[in-house]
Amino acid sequence: MFNLEDFDIKLDTDYIGRNFVYAEEVDSTNGVLMNSAYGFNDHGSVLLAEKQLKGRGRQNRTWQSQKDLNLTFSILLKDQSLFTSGFTLLVFGAANVVAASIENLYQLRTEVKWPNDVLVNGKKVAGILIESSSQGQKIVRAVVGVGLNVNQQAFHGQFQIQPTSLKNELNQNIEREVLLAEILNIFEEMLGKYKTEPEQILKDWRMRCRMIGEKIDVNDGKNSRHGIFDDVDENGTLLLRTEKGIEKINFGDVSIR
Amino acid sequence: MDINLIKKLVKLVDESGVTDLEIEQEGIRIKIAKKIRTVQGFDAAQLMPPSIPVSYKDSVSQSAGEENLSVKVEKETDVHEIRSPIVGTFYRAPAPDADSYVQVGDSISVGSVLCIVEAMKLMNEIESDVSGKIIKILVDNGKPVEYNQPLFLIKLS
C-alpha cells in the first residue's frame, strides 16, 4: 500500500504532483492522462497506479510490473511555454531526473542509455515514454510516463537489457513514497532548468551516458547499423559515425558491440 | 512571396517562344502569359517544337534550386498545411501492422488523428486543427521529418 501521508510530507513542489491521484488499477497511466475525457487538465497532475493492465513502451512493447511493488506513474504537462521546438529535450531531462533521484537517495551509480533508459550496474531499472498530442503544429498536452522497478525481485520474460530493481541492487526494501516525492521534486527543478538553460539538460545527460565514443549497434526494428556513438546533437539525436560519415538517428535500440 | 523566382520565370518566358506558362505545385499556381507578334504570317506557336513546354517546366524548377517552390502568388486560401511540431520520424499508423490513420481523399474534422511523429522516445500524435479533405500526404511512412516541415495538405470544407 502506498502511504499518501508519507509521500505528502516529502513532496516539496509548487505544482508537480499537487494534483495527485492514486489508482489501484488502470489500463495505462499515460493513456488516462492523455485522454482529456478523464478530466485531468491541471499542469503537473500525477497519476500513480499500482497496476497497469496495458502498460506500454514504444512500438507497442509492454511494460510489466508487479502490483504494489514498483512505481508506475505519469506526469501531465499543459504549460504551453514548454512546447517549443526543443521539446524533445524533456526525453533526456526525465532520464536525468530518475537517475539523480536514485543517486541522491541510495548512492547507487546510475547510467543512462540513449535515449532515456536508466541503468544501475548495467541493468535496466527504469523506462520512460513521453506522449504528446498536437492540434496541427501546436502541442497542447504532453504526458511523461515512468516505469521504475523498486521492490520487485523476480523478472520473467525476454528482455533486450537485463532488468533489475533497486531492491535487488541494494538488498533492502525501498520506501516508494520517499522515492516518488524525490523524483517529482527534481522533475520540477528540471522543468525550470529546461526553460532557462536548456543546453544544461544534455550536458547532464552526457555525464551519465557511458556509450559515447563506443562501438555500437543500432537496431530500428528492420535494419541494424554499426558505428561509433559520436555524440548527440542539440535535439538529442544520436550521431553515428560510420564509413559513410555521420548518420543522424532518432529512434532504435542501441547496444554496445 | 519570392520576387526573384517570379522574375526568373518571367525572364525565361520572355526569352523563349512560349506564350503561356502555368505552374501548379502544392496549392500554388503561377501563370505567366505574353503577347506574341506573328511574323510573316507564321504563328509563333508553330515555330516551337512540341517538347518545349515540358522541358520548360524542368528548367524552371531547376532554376528555383529546390524541390518545393516557396512562391506564394495565388496561394489557394482554402488549402491548409499541417506541419510537424518536432524533428522526428513520420508514421501514418499507430503500429507497424496497423492501418493508416488517414488516406488521400478522406474527409476529416477538427481532432481527427492524422499521424504520429516519433523522436527518441517521444511519440507525438498530430490531430487536425481544421475540417476538410486530405488532398496530399507529403511524406512517406517511416521517413525523417524536420521541425515545421509540411506533412499534409488539406482542402478546407
Q: What is the mean pLDDT of each run of 10 residues along chain B (157 residues)?
A: 67 70 69 56 42 39 44 65 94 90 97 94 95 97 93 95
A4-208 CATH fold = BirA Bifunctional Protein; domain 2 (3.30.930)
Q: What is the pLDDT of residue B43?
A: 45
pLDDT tens, residue by residue, A111-148? 999 999 999 999 999 999 999 999 999 999 999 999 99
Instruction: State whether residue B146 sits within 8 Å of chain A by CB.
Output: no
Residue A106 has pLDDT above 50, yes or no: yes
Q: Which CATH class is domain B37-156?
A: mainly beta
Contact criterion met (CB < 8 Å) for A132 and B83: no
Length of chain A: 257
Q: pTM to 2 decimals?
A: 0.80
Q: What is the pLDDT of residue B31?
A: 73
Residue A45 has pLDDT above 80, yes or no: yes
For residue B16, give the 3-state DSSP assignment: coil
Q: Average pLDDT, stretch A212-239?
A: 92
Taking a contact as any Cβ pair under 8 Å apart, which residues of chain A between 97 and 116 contact chain B? 114-116
- What does the domain layout of chain B look like in residue ranges? 1-34, 37-156
Q: A147 and A160 in contact (C-beta within 8 Å)?
A: no
Contact criterion met (CB < 8 Å) for A248 and B122: no
d(C-alpha A6, C-alpha A143), whole Å: 25
Q: How far is CA B57 from CA B26, B62, B70, B71, in A?
A: 15, 9, 16, 15
Q: What is the pLDDT of residue A69?
A: 93
Q: What is the pLDDT of residue A58?
A: 65
Identical fold between A4-208 and A215-256: no
Residue B133: exposure state from Cβ atoms within 10 A (0-12, 13-18, ≥19): middle
Q: What is the pLDDT of residue B94?
A: 87
A215-256 CATH fold = SH3 type barrels. (2.30.30)
**What angle separates helix A199-208 from helix A176-196, to the nearest 10 degrees?**
130
Q: What does the mean pLDDT of chain A come to?
A: 93
pLDDT tens, residue by residue, A81-93? 999 888 999 999 9
Contact criterion met (CB < 8 Å) for A135 and B128: yes
Q: What is the pLDDT of residue A233?
A: 93
Q: What is the pLDDT of residue A75?
A: 98
Instruction: State whether residue B47 sits within 8 Å of chain A by CB.
Output: no
Taking a contact as any Cβ pair under 8 Å apart, which residues of chain B between 57 and 86 contact chain A? 82-86
Which residue in the set B123, B124, B147 is minimally distant from A85, CB to CB?
A: B147
Q: What is the pLDDT of residue B2?
A: 65
Confidence grade of residue A256 (pLDDT, cut at 50, 70, 90): confident
Which residue in the set A60, A115, A137 is minimally distant from B121, CB to CB?
A: A115
Which is more confident, B72 or A187?
A: A187
